[in-house]
Amino acid sequence: MSGQAERPPAAALRPALPGDVPLLAAIAEAAILELTGEDYDSDQQEAWAAAASDEEALAARLAGQLALVATRDGEPVGFIVLADNRLIDMLYVRPEVAGEGVAGLLYDAIERLAGARGATSLTVDASDTALDFFGKRGFTPKQRNTVSRGGVWLGNTTMEKLLAAPPGPVH
Ligand SMILES: CC(C)(COP(=O)(O)OP(=O)(O)OC[C@H]1O[C@@H](n2cnc3c(N)ncnc32)[C@H](O)[C@@H]1OP(=O)(O)O)[C@@H](O)C(=O)NCCC(=O)NCCS
């Protein structure tokens, strides 16, 4: 034994299943209510959380899209949804694991999958809370938006990242 505790891997990844919807809704709600308070007021947090955790709407949003779930000890701790192989539609982690690399792991995997499926760029309407996260991953801001969630207005920023072309065949 080295005597030094090794950092556990951030999480394991698997595709999302229809039965995950209630857990994923709960993760989205907790992430919004507990992680975005420096950037949005409580009315905005509550309206956004209610919209993102509506199970029927979430099931419809996941259907036919590429969605990955991060698990620790088999329990979902975060998820990401890629819509139309170009738009990061949702990215949420449990507040208990924030800052431990779970979103980074989810993002890296979805970027690789999107690239392998032919995507040449990715876009995201990044929350103010996620601006630095995406900025550090090579996204650049394109436009500022104001969107309504249940009648409450929230700001976000459309960001884009161009993906490197996959290596061609070696001759
Ligand atoms: C934005 C969000 C998804 C980020 O999730 P996260 O899991 O905390 O993100 P990560 O841990 O992967 O990255 C956050 C930082 O922690 C750092 N980190 C990574 N591993 C770490 C570790 N083991 N220990 C400490 N810090 C670590 C990362 O380097 C990263 O810093 P960086 O941005 O300077 O690179 C999360 O805050 C969230 O759910 N927010 C609320 C909802 C939201 O805004 N979603 C985005 C909608 S577009």
**41 belongs to a structural domain:** yes
**109 belongs to a structural domain:** yes
From 93, 137, 147, the mutation candidate for ligand 1 (largest count of ligand atoms within 8 A of CB) is 93
Residue spans of the chain under pLDDT 50: 1-3
Ligand 1 atom at minimum distance from 106 CA? 12
**135 belongs to a structural domain:** no
Number of structural domains in the chain = 1
Chain centroid to Cα 139, Å, comes to 14
| Nearest Cα to Cα of residue 147 among 163, 128, 165 | 128
**79 belongs to a structural domain:** yes
Amino acid occupying residue 124: V
pLDDT score for 169 = 66
Residue 109 CB–ligand 1 contact under 6 Å: no
CATH code for the domain of 19 = 3.40.630.30
Identify whether the C-beta of residue 149 lies closer than 8 Å to the C-beta of residue 43: no
Whose CA is closest to atom 22 on ligand 1? 100
**168 belongs to a structural domain:** no
Amino acid occupying residue 91: L
Reading the block at residue 64, the tokens are 């036919």
103 alpha carbon to ligand 1 midpoint, in Å? 5
Reading the block at residue 2, the tokens are 């080295």
Residue 127 pairs in a beta bridge with 156
pLDDT score for 2 = 46
Reading the block at residue 95, the tokens are 């507040």
pLDDT score for 1 = 44
Residue 89 CB–ligand 1 contact under 6 Å: no
Q: For residue 119, what is the DSSP state? A: -
| Nearest Cα to Cα of residue 90 among 81, 98, 103 | 81
Amino acid occupying residue 83: A
108-113 LR contacts (CB < 8 Å, sep 24+): 109/13, 109/68, 109/80, 110/66, 110/68, 110/80, 110/82, 111/137, 111/161, 111/163, 113/66, 113/82
Q: What are phi and psi of 165, to 5 degrees?
A: -65, 140
Residue 3 CB–ligand 1 contact under 6 Å: no
Q: Which domain holds residue 47?
A: 12-119
CA atoms 37, 123, 71, 49: torsion sign: positive
**58 belongs to a structural domain:** yes
**63 belongs to a structural domain:** yes
pLDDT score for 164 = 84
